[in-house]
Structure 1
Amino acid sequence: MEKILDKLELWKDIFIKNIPNITIALVVLIVAYFSSRYMSNLVNRAIGGKIKQKSVRNLVSRIASAVIFLLGLYFAMTILKFDDTLKTIVSAAGVSGIVVGLALQGTLSNTISGVVLSFRKNLNIGNWVETNDYAGEVIDINLNYFVIKEADNNMVVIPNKMILESPFKNYSLTTKMRIAIECGVEYGADLEKVEKLTKETITNNFNQKKLEKEVEFYYTEFGDSSINFLCRFWVDSENALEKLKAKSNAIVKIKQAFDAAGINIPFPMRTLEFVDDNKLNIKEIAKQKVSAN
């Protein structure tokens, strides 16, 4: 017990003796912390006009911030006279680096992948992408993971390695998207009139002339209750949500145009035949919708 008390007394004397150094070291760490944050913002603004990719700007600013903080940490350890300890750590890092590298192989792979992704010109923060069965807006690309904000406002965090090794679809690389709508009309309809009306409806509501595109219209098959067709057209869009809204609007406009022109869109119906009082014969038939007349 006396040895423990003597040791504690010795540590107390050392602590009191080094209070000025500890105070200076803490001040250096605090200054280094705020300086690193300021340096991050400064670098981001300085290279903002030269580097358009936000992911690259973020990467460079984070590296600059880390360098400033590490320098502050080094000065703080020097003030506390931990030079020998620091040299020992650096020397041991070379020996243990291989072991740590093997243990952190997945993490290092994600870090390298994050650097590669940051410099890719076809992928940037703010783009709407689809990859690994997820689709959404790219929120962040850092050294460990890739963050996507889905349409339902959920955040998806994906390791960088998976993004780099998997195909992805970037909707933001082009400003135009093609939409395909499948529909059917009754067998008694005037097919030429249907085609003309559909093309006019799409052209008038989605300005195909401005996009320098033409509406495509093709009859595809004789269905059970209708003659089916495929209509394809282009819209100004950079993400899947805008495409979905445009498709919904097109369906509404086509339906309104068909109703105004008296063109029916048939649908399968079930007919029940009562043979007698005790038996019921059910037939599944495809019957066209007819008017009340």
Structure 2
Amino acid sequence: MDSSLNSIDQVRASAIDMAIRFGPKLVVAIAILVAGYIVGRWAARLLERLLSRFKLDSPVVSLLRKIVQLLVLGLFAIMALQNLGIELLPLIAGLSVAGAGVALAMQGILGNIVAGLTIIFTRPFHVGDYISIVEEEGEVLDISLFSTTLGHADKSKVVIPNRKIVGEILHNYGQIRQLRISVTLSYAADVDQALGLVEEILQQNSRVLREPEPVFGIARLTDAGVVIGVGPWVAVVDHDAAVGEINKRLLEVFAAQNIALSVPLREIRMLGAAA
């Protein structure tokens, strides 16, 4: 019983001794880390104000802010460790060995980060552009270190890892898209009149851009009739709505002006049994 009490007293004395020796240093170290967090945020905001003059993309500004904040916090963390009396050289060596193992285990994540940096600094596309890549297409909503988010017309989103983007063939439409509308007229129809009506329809539609100038004309001749191709440019957000509006207007105007559309004809032969 006495030996147990002596052990408890020794542990208590050791704890009090350590608290007296390291308590103030621990408090100072915590204060240094808090100061580092505050100074890091202040430095990041200052950098953001300075970068606003250069009109950089928001992902680039966000990345530089995070780098500055982490660097400042890391510097204060080193100061805190030194205040606690921790030897940094053995710690750095141990972290280097551990970092090599972590890097091997996180190759996919690191690949996304490297690809994200490549996208952010080479800028093959920007937020708001409409792109097509890796069998996906949509408006670029966000570019981060790890992934790029595309938005679809149905309000859904697709998140693509950055390593799936870098090195692939990318089609960047920018912030406008060209419509691909076609209508097939009968060979008996007045093609010149039809083309004039198409021009009027495009001029009256508020979604159709005046620059680049809309293109339209005879796309091809088929067995069914004369195919008129209509290719105006619209803003990305207006693409689907413009297709519906122009198709509807084409039907209404052609019907009012007696422009005959092609009607597919099929010949069916009934073969009876041989007598």
CA RMSD of aligned residues (A): 3.3
Provide closer, same or farther for how the CA distance between residues 7 and 166 of structure 1 changes in structure 2, counting only shifts above 3 A. Answer: farther
1:213 is matched with which residue?
Answer: 213
From the superposition, tell whether residues 170 and 12 of structure 1 become closer, same or farther in structure 2 (CA, over 3 Å). farther
Q: Given that residues 186 and 263 in structure 2 are in contact (C-alpha distance below 8 angstroms), is that contact kept between their aligned partners in structure 1?
A: no
Equivalent of 1:60 in 64, 78, 87: 64
User: 237, 240, 245: which is aligned to 1:244?
Assistant: 240
Residue in 2 that maps onto 1:18: 22
Moved more, 241-250 or 200-209: 200-209
- 1:48-197 → structure 2 map (5 Å cutoff): 48-81=52-85, 83-84=86-87, 86-172=88-174, 176-197=176-197
**CA deviation profile, 1:134-158 (whole Å, cap 9, x unmatched):** 3333333333232333333334332
Q: 1:60 to 1:99 in 2, by over 3 A?
A: same
- The count of aligned residue pairs is 265
| Mapped contact 2:209–2:233 kept (Cα < 8 A) | no
Identity %: 22
Distance 1:152 1:126 in 2: 16
Tell me the CA shift for residue 54 of structure 1.
2.3
Mapped to 1, the partners of 2:221 and 2:11 lie a distance apart of 91
- How far has the Cα of 1:203 moved from its partner? 3.8
Per-residue CA deviation, residues 124-182 of structure 1 (Å, 9 max, x unaligned), is: 2333323223333333333323233333333433222111122222222xx65332211
- Structure 1 regions of 5+ residues with no counterpart? 271-280, 282-293
Q: In the alignment, which of 222, 225, 228 is matched to residue 227 of structure 1? A: 225
Instruction: Give the aligned residue type for 2:238.
Output: E
* Contact 1:217/1:230 (<8 A) preserved: yes
Distance (whole Å) between structure 2 residues aligned to residue 21 and residue 197 of structure 1: 84
TM-score, scaled to structure 2: 0.79
Asked if structure 2 preserves the Cα contact closer than 8 Å seen for 1:140 and 1:147, the reply is yes
What TM-score, normalized by structure 1, do the two folds share? 0.75
Q: Which amino acid aligns with 1:90?
A: I
Distance 1:42 1:7 in 2: 52
